[in-house]
Amino acid sequence: MTSKSISIRLNEELVAKLDRLSALARRPKSWLIERMIEDYIDEELRQLAEIREQLDDDEGELIDHEVVMAEMDRLLREKLGDAAFEKLLREEESQKR
């Protein structure tokens, strides 16, 4: 198999981690990066194939995101109680800011 060169930019912290891993594994950084990318792509392809298969099996029947979230809110409110659920919502909002 032939190889092609590409370049990427990584932040200093990630480069330091890669350097450490390279030293510990006694492997070149390029070897590690290639395997990481290959593993990631293989996993993404597997997941997407599973999703596609499920969609095909379900005959395209999807539930709107808003409906799912409303049901999740209902279940959480039921489990936690109104006061605890409202507190959870306030904490979530404050973390977004």
- pLDDT at res. 68: 95
User: In which band, very low, low, confident or very high, does the pLDDT at 61 lie, cut at 50, 70 and 90?
Assistant: confident
Query: What pTM did the predictor assign?
Result: 0.57
DSSP string, the chain: -----------HHHHHHHHHHHHHHT--HHHHHHHHHHHHHHHHHHHHHHHHHHHHHTTT----HHHHHHHHHHHHHHHH-HHHHHHHHHHHHHHH-
- pLDDT at res. 12: 97
- Reported as a single tens digit per residue, the pLDDT across 3-36 is 899 999 999 999 999 999 999 999 999 999 999 9
